[in-house]
Structure 1
Amino acid sequence: MLPSETRRVEAVQTACSIIDALREVNSIGVTALANELEMSKSAVHAHLVTLADCGYVVSDAGQYRLSLQFLEIAEHVKDTFGQYDVIEEELTRLADETGEIAQFATDEHGKIIYLAKAEGKNAVRTSSSIGRRGDMHSTSLGKAILSEMPRDKVDSILDVYGLPRKTPNTITDRERFHEELVQVRERGYTIDDEENITGVRCIGVPIEGKGDTILGALSITGPSSRMTDERIREELLAVLQRSANVIEVNVKFS
Structure 2
Amino acid sequence: MPVTPGPGPARPGPQSVERALAVLDAVADADRPVGAKALARELGCALSTVYHLTGPLLDRGYLVRTVEGYAPGPRVPALHRSHQRHHGFGAGTGELLGRLRRATGAEAYHTAYRDGLITVVDTTAPVTDTGHPFTPGPEPRAHATAHGKALLAALPRPLRRRYLAEHGMARFTERTITGAERFEAEVDRVRGQGFAVSVGEADLAYTCLAVALPDRGDGIVHALSVSLPTVEFGRRQGGIRAALTRAVPGFPTLPES
TM-score by length of 1: 0.82
Using the TM superposition, name which of 88-97 and 211-220 deviates more.
211-220
* Corresponding residue pairs, total: 239
TM-superposed deviation, 1:237: 2.1
Structure-1 residue corresponding to 2:241: 237
Structure-2 residue corresponding to 1:47: 53
Structure-2 residue corresponding to 1:246: 250
Query: Against the structure 1 CA distance between its residues 160 and 60, is the aligned structure 2 distance closer, same or farther, given a 3 Å change threshold?
Result: same
Using the TM superposition, name which of 48-57 and 157-166 deviates more.
48-57
The aligned amino acid for 1:163 is M
- Determine helix, strand or coil for the equivalent of 1:225: helix
- 5+ residue gaps, structure 2, are 1-12, 126-130
Q: Does the 8 Å contact 1:91/1:102 carry over to 2? A: yes
The aligned amino acid for 1:77 is H
Query: Against the structure 1 CA distance between its residues 63 and 154, is the aligned structure 2 distance closer, same or farther, given a 3 Å change threshold?
Result: same
Q: 1:103-118 maps to which residues of 2 (within 5 A)?
A: 103-108=109-114, 110-118=116-124
Structure-2 residue corresponding to 1:102: 108
**Counterparts of 2:195 and 2:171 in 1: how far apart (Å)?**
22
- Determine helix, strand or coil for the equivalent of 1:115: strand
The aligned amino acid for 2:120 is Y
Query: Against the structure 1 CA distance between its residues 221 and 61, is the aligned structure 2 distance closer, same or farther, given a 3 Å change threshold?
Result: closer
List 4+ stretches of structure 1 deviating above 4 A: 108-111
State yes or no: 1:35 paired with 2:37.
no
Spell out, residue by residue over 1:63-104, the C-alpha distance to the aligned partner (whole angstroms, 9 max, x if none).
Answer: 433321112222222233324322222222222122222221
State yes or no: 1:18 paired with 2:20.
no
TM-superposed deviation, 1:49: 1.8
- The CA RMSD over aligned residues, in Å, is 2.6
TM-superposed deviation, 1:214: 4.1
Over the matched positions of the two proteins, sequence identity in percent amounts to 27
**Counterparts of 1:28 and 1:180 in 2: how far apart (Å)?**
41
Q: 1:1-254 maps to which residues of 2 (within 5 A)?
A: 9-25=14-30, 26-60=32-66, 63-108=69-114, 110-118=116-124, 126-131=132-137, 133-211=139-217, 213-228=219-234, 231-232=236-237, 234-247=238-251, 250-251=252-253
TM-score by length of 2: 0.81
Q: Does the 8 Å contact 1:112/1:135 carry over to 2? A: no
**Counterparts of 1:152 and 1:48 in 2: how far apart (Å)?**
41
Q: Does the 8 Å contact 1:167/1:195 carry over to 2? A: yes
Q: Does the 8 Å contact 1:145/1:214 carry over to 2? A: no
Spell out, residue by residue over 1:169-209, the C-alpha distance to the aligned partner (whole angstroms, 9 max, x if none).
Answer: 00011111011112211211101121111132221100124
The aligned amino acid for 1:24 is D
